[in-house]
Amino acid sequence: MAIHIGRRAFIAGFGGTALGWPMGASAQTAGSGKPIRMVVGFGAAGTTDIAARVLSGKLSKALGQQVYVDNRTGAGGTIATEQVALAAPDGLTLLMTPLANAANETLFKNFRYTYDDYFTAVAPVADTNNVVVAHPSLHVKTIGELIVLAKSRPPGAILAGSPGVGTASHLANELFNQMTGIKMTSVQYRGGGDVMKDLVSGQIKVDRADSDCVAVPEK
């Protein structure tokens, strides 16, 4: 049975990650033996990448054909979005994206491929929560302590990482600044995995990480 999606489809889920493929694509592609490319706009080891790799393995088994992850990082996921928007509507290209990427339409002046015009939501894939984590060198254990510390330092002195402009972490950083009257500098990376590496090494001091990327030891 053919399932017609429309011109381009993408997976979008509130507070999480979603999947999709070109509009006009048909489920008849399944079983063709051709590899299916799942495009991710962020680097390895981040939430979107992890979700994509888990899902690609399940889809490979279910469809009986290879489904592989293709990381196309940069511009907060916009590069990956454009690649899928321009892909042939043959069902062989998927886009895995977080919901927050829709904000890029308002953040980039030359954003060409809007979600309303080029994509159709298919289904949510994962639902995650953001948690604030700080490097031990800050010696803070609560949000209140972090705010007090930030106010005692020059504006922008504390660096907070995020996996790109328009991502949930980036927007949360800026909202936190506005709500508390502090100023932490938001440093942009190509994925959550890169943010976590620099947080652990102390290059940045704060991260709003997805809960599935942060291990909290039991007491």
In a domain, 168, yes or no: yes
| Per-residue model confidence (pLDDT) at position 15 | 40
In a domain, 218, yes or no: no
Q: Which two tokens stand for residue 207?
A: 């991260």
What residues have CB less than 8 Å from 49, skipping those under 6 apart?
Answer: 40, 42, 43, 69, 71, 191, 192, 193
Q: What are all long-range contacts of 113-118, with beta carbons under 8 Å and residues at least 24 apart? A: 113/81, 113/82, 113/85, 113/86, 115/10, 115/12, 118/7, 118/8, 118/23, 118/85
| Per-residue model confidence (pLDDT) at position 214 | 60
* DSSP one-letter string for 11-79: B--TTEEEEE--TT-BGGGTTS---EEEEESS-TTSHHHHHHHHHHHHHHHHHTS-EEEEE---GGGHH
Single out the residue in 127, 154, 188 at which a domain terminates: 127
Single out the residue in 90, 112, 127 at which a domain terminates: 127
Over residues 114-119, mean pLDDT? 76
CB 167 within 8 A of CB 101: yes
Indicate whether 117 and 179 sit together in one domain: no
| Per-residue model confidence (pLDDT) at position 175 | 93
Indicate whether 157 and 82 sit together in one domain: no
| Per-residue model confidence (pLDDT) at position 13 | 33
| Per-residue model confidence (pLDDT) at position 130 | 81
Q: What range does the domain containing 91 cover?
A: 9-127
**Nearest in space to 81 (alpha carbons), one of 6, 166, 16:** 166
| Per-residue model confidence (pLDDT) at position 14 | 32
Q: Taking the model in full, what pTM does it have?
A: 0.76
Indicate whether 151 and 200 sit together in one domain: yes
Indicate whether 116 and 150 sit together in one domain: no
- State pLDDT tens for residues 15-69: 456 555 545 455 555 556 889 999 999 998 888 898 899 999 998 999 899 999 9
The total domain count for the chain is 2
209 versus 170: the higher-pLDDT residue is 170
CATH of the domain at 117: 3.40.190.150
Could you tell me what percent of the chain has a pLDDT over 70? Answer: 79
Q: Is the pLDDT confidence value at 4 over 50? A: no
Single out the residue in 127, 152, 169 at which a domain terminates: 127
Q: What does the mean pLDDT of the chain come to?
A: 81
| Per-residue model confidence (pLDDT) at position 218 | 52
Dihedrals phi, psi of 72, to nearest 5 degrees = -120, 85
Indicate whether 149 and 122 sit together in one domain: no
- State pLDDT tens for residues 93-105: 888 888 766 777 7
Q: Which two tokens stand for residue 18?
A: 């979603």
